[in-house]
Amino acid sequence: MTTTATPTTSGARDSESFDEAPFDEEAFQDLKAEITAWVEGPGEDYADEIEATGQVPDRLLPELRDRGYLSLAAPVELGGRGIPFSRYLELMEIVSRSHASIRMLVHVINGTWRAMVPFATPEQLEEVVKPSIAGTKLVAFTLTEATAGTGQDLRTTARLEGDTWYLNGEKHLITFGVKCDYWLIAARIEGSTEKDGFVAFLMPNSGLPGAEVIDDSDTMGIRGTDHAILRFTETPVPASALLGEQGDGLKVALGGFLLPSRVSVAMSAVGLAERAQQLAVEYANRRETFGKPLSSRQAIQFYLAENYADIAAARALVIEAAKAYEEGRADAGVLSSASKMVAVDMLARVTDKALQVHGGQGYWKRNKIERVYRDARAQRFEEGTNEIQKLVVGRAVVTGAVSY
């Protein structure tokens, strides 16, 4: 099954230049059924194992890779399956009903190529981008800092001397930052105060001098996924690691990855909410109070009705944001933020009601809703907190940048 790649930000290489091919709807529906069966079968076994051990088993990544789940959205010319962004999100919706660490692998690996492709040199395409799409090399998106993280406030700096950059600073909350092969890292050019004073690098995670990797993986949810604190002190980075040109750093980080990734996170919230609703319905039908199924109680039906409407509304907005991104519309960025803002708030309401349907039983780890409830909290800050998303949307509204 092949289709055209989705639009990306402008740069040295535009993914829109790849050849178009017809979309095979029948094959896509077969793929959806396959992924659903995997999520409900082996995926649940993996989820139980991850929760029991606190580790993602080594065999999971190769299995996802061999099934083609890590190369769903990338262009066929780069080794991907070329599924359009809005249709790929239908698959992300399904995957997100599984364990958060499974969703994280599929989400990140299917997204980082968008940041790299428009700016990568031919050598970087062969050495990093294509292996990343194939799932043989792992790239960690490296933006957030302890005292910064929205982009222009970055404090990590890079200084060019000859043909070597020297990196100084600290990054926090870096997913896959411990075990990855490369860091896709953004930094401010030392001494720069301009918006275009940023650079991006594809740095190998291979014991560079002055680079300290601290395992920071003990989290509330998304158990098993590694997270890192990275500290750089005069760390030398060869000029060949520069992704794009000087000044492209924020284009790489914000446009290339974060915009579509916010929409993907929003859809993952929809998928996880659907799983919470499914668990709530199953429990309400199974549990009896005073000789009647819990599901016959009006209060419970109201919870489930509200959840259904909440999920459906959020999903519609996410699909609209995805189509805006595909079409390169001017409102794509605002809809990206709006969809994440709405979807993660929806997820909080749905998982809370789903847990309440379970009563005290839901608080015990032996019930799957407990893990779903914990995992749901992470999406409130993935790819920017809701407070940041509201700033983006609010500014667009008051300046008339959006229409109705």
pLDDT value at residue 14 = 40
Say yes or no: 190 and 316 in one domain: no
Q: How far apart are CA 319 and CA 138, in angstroms?
A: 28
The last residue of a domain, from among 115, 134, 153? 134
Residue 312 burial (CB count, 10 A): 11
Catalytic residue numbers?
383
In tens, the pLDDT along 327-372 reads: 999 999 999 999 999 999 999 999 999 999 999 999 999 999 999 9
Say yes or no: 338 and 387 in one domain: yes
Residue 9 lies in a domain: no
Residue 3 lies in a domain: no
Say yes or no: 130 and 147 in one domain: no
At residue 170, what is the residue type? E
| Rounded (10°) CA dihedral 153, 103, 222, 112 | -30
Say yes or no: 174 and 237 in one domain: yes
pLDDT value at residue 402 = 87
CB-based contact 1:31 (threshold 8 Å): yes
Say yes or no: 256 and 386 in one domain: yes
Q: How far apart are CA 227 and CA 97, in angstroms?
A: 22
- Looking at the 3D structure of the chain, how many domains does it have? 3
pLDDT bucket at 296, cuts 50 / 70 / 90: very high
pLDDT value at residue 272 = 98
This prediction's pTM: 0.91
Say yes or no: 216 and 345 in one domain: no
Say yes or no to pLDDT of 4 above 70. no
Residue 227 lies in a domain: yes
In tens, the pLDDT along 254-263 reads: 867 788 999 9
Say yes or no: 226 and 319 in one domain: no
pLDDT bucket at 383, cuts 50 / 70 / 90: confident
Residue 269 lies in a domain: yes
Alpha-carbon radius of gyration of the chain:
21
User: What is the distance of C-alpha 226 from the center of its chain?
Assistant: 14
Residue 404 lies in a domain: no
Residue 150 burial (CB count, 10 A): 15
With 0-12 / 13-18 / 19 or more C-beta atoms within 10 angstroms meaning exposed / middle / buried, residue 356 is: middle
pLDDT bucket at 13, cuts 50 / 70 / 90: very low
Residue 203 lies in a domain: yes
Say yes or no: 269 and 359 in one domain: yes
At residue 247, what is the residue type? G
- Mean pLDDT, range 187-202, rounded to an integer: 90
The helix/strand/coil state of 226 is coil
- Mean pLDDT, range 283-294, rounded to an integer: 96
Q: How far apart are CA 218 and CA 173, in angstroms?
A: 11
Residue 240 burial (CB count, 10 A): 12
The last residue of a domain, from among 118, 134, 150? 134
Instruction: Residue 82: give the domain boundaries.
Output: 15-134
Q: Residue 400 corresponds to which tokens in the numbers above?
A: 């008339």
> Which of 361, 370, 353, 345 shows the shortest CA–CA distance to 301?
353
Q: How far apart are CA 42 and CA 398, in angstroms?
A: 48
CATH label of the domain that carries residue 159: 2.40.110.10
DSSP secondary structure, 337-390, as one string: HHHHHHHHHHHHHHHHHHHHHHGGGGGSTTSHHHHHHHHHHHTTTTTS-HHHHH
Say yes or no: 27 and 123 in one domain: yes
